Structure 1
């Protein structure tokens, strides 16, 4: 949609009529020119004392301000729309633009193409449970979270760390062995780990052999739970946290925890962002893959070494900031957060 500039003789005529005492509406009706255009010409004449076309900073935009707002609104309401789809949307309004122009306009309005973050799917029940958990615990004292033993499982792949890695290289050397990251099909194998930590540091880290079920989970807890509590010198009446995985919430596991008189933190489903151990898993995987393990034995060994090397200050910082996680959940009304 191209703007058509009013000829100079018409602009002069508008000013002449205005000087003779005619109002905007009367001039508009007499000359068949939109009222807004009449107003713009007169304001410009009063400000600059001329009806000449003033120097511009660049080429006039092909898009009206109203159409620009439509584009920005469409992109905001449909964030997954491609540039091609936005181009087709504009074409349906009568405005034909190149995709690079559309991209530039969106950038000027603060909209940038970014990789969408992957977050757990949340039902309305999940959202309500998360919001209830956050509101119930937001005023809990710092000592409450310092006395929680946080736990979780994670899978670590031998060659599966998919974060970007940059190299310094010359042109046409992208495929030299020293400038590439080796990969194999299916990640080259992986190991499953169970671990725990508190504000006092990291606890046990155990490799899970085969598929974990309720009985195997209970055996891991029996061997490592109290040992970790003693290592970190936690209070006897500590609180144990684990998620709502079926092996964690099975009748036999609940009975085992009740028999051992272990207080379990009530946990909302689909809430990895509320478990600070997720940050430690990220730290662990980055540290391990920097050491380039060659086989699963190396992988397990490096994992245990790096887990033990995680600084106590790092653990304490994650727990100190826990109220911020709860505040973020409340602010998002139970939806996913940045954590």
Structure 2
């Protein structure tokens, strides 16, 4: 009958207001070129563990129908698993840092000062770089905003649309890491082995892979514009 079993896509849980803001963000950046996106450093925290998704039955053309999607809300990780923070740009991979607890403003400030700052001044010495972060509470804290304001002569913070992990290339970067773990001959059996696997995979991801993910921003923006800020059927993978 044309139905097949598959895992549902995760999509951001967007309110009507955030969908409008996402569309406006895409419109504001639709004329950015690949050269512009090369100057952006992408960052994110990731909590790695079993995803627990069930399966659905649908026809191929129905995969992005609302009844076949699973909504998600961005939040800090919880429960068992390994949390890491990382960043990269079109030019190079940045550091990958283990996070023992959910980030608060104080811990995030240390990451920004110790990791983000040296990365940005090295990759974008002409002070034309942008640092991307999502809108997590610790990222928007006053002490963080003040620090970025003090260093705005060295690089800028890219204003980010709320609830838009699907727009960020680093989200697909985490998908690559998870895929590589899934294909390991011997699966990690404890948290230390999982962390070691993530670190090893991070350092082995090819330049072609993360450059492809950054270049995908042109397609992502067109997809958001076409969907008027809503969910879109774009699945980026490294070539």
TM-score tier by shorter-chain length is 0.7 to 0.9
Q: Per-residue deviation at 1:226?
A: 2.8
- After TM superposition, the structure 1 = structure 2 runs for residues 1-339 of structure 1, keeping only pairs within 5 Å, are 104=1, 107=2, 116-157=8-49, 160=50, 189-229=80-120, 233-237=123-127, 238-261=129-152, 262-289=155-182, 290=184, 291-339=186-234
What per-residue deviation string (whole Å, max 9, x for no partner) do you get for residues 94-115 of structure 1?
xxxxxxxxxx4xx4xxx77765
Q: CA deviation at 1:305?
A: 1.5
1:234/1:312 CA distance change after superposition, 3 Å: farther
Query: How many Å separate the matches in 1 of 2:19 and 2:95?
Result: 32
> For residues 222 and 172 of structure 2, what CA distance do their matches in structure 1 show?
18
TM value normalised by structure 1: 0.56
- Cα separation, 2, equivalents of 1:256 and 1:130: 26
- Give the deviation of 1:285 after TM superposition: 1.7
* Structure 1: runs of 5 or more not aligned: 1-103, 165-186
CA drift of 1:118 comes to 2.8
Is the Cα–Cα contact under 8 Å of residues 244 and 269 in structure 1 kept in the other structure?
yes
Deviations 1:198-230 (A, max 9, x none): 111321110111221011011111111133336
| Aligned equivalents of 1:217, 1:273: Cα separation in 2 | 23
1:152-199: CA deviation from partner (whole Å, max 9, x where unpaired): 111012xx26689xxxxxxxxxxxxxxxxxxxxxx9931111111111
2: CA distance between counterparts of 1:112 and 1:245?
Answer: 37
For 2:52 and 2:126, the matched residues in 1 are separated by 40
Give the whole-Å Cα distance in 2 for the aligned partners of 1:305 and 1:322.
26
CA distance in 2, matches of 1:207, 1:303: 10
| Corresponding pairs, count | 206
Q: Which structure 2 residue ranges, 5 or more long, are not aligned? A: 55-77, 235-239
Q: Hey, what's the Cα distance between the residues in 2 that align with 1:188 and 1:153?
A: 15
Q: Is the 8 A contact 2:39 2:89 kept in 1?
A: yes
Q: Which has the larger radius of gyration?
A: 1
Matches of 2:222 and 2:230, distance apart in 1: 12
Give CA-to-partner distance per residue, 1:114-135, whole Å, 9 cap, x none. 6543312111111111111111
Q: Aligned partners of 1:248 and 1:312: how far apart in 2?
A: 28
Which one has a larger percent strand, Structure 1 or Structure 2? 2
Partners of 1:267 and 1:319 lie apart in 2 by 16
Structure with bigger helix share is: 1
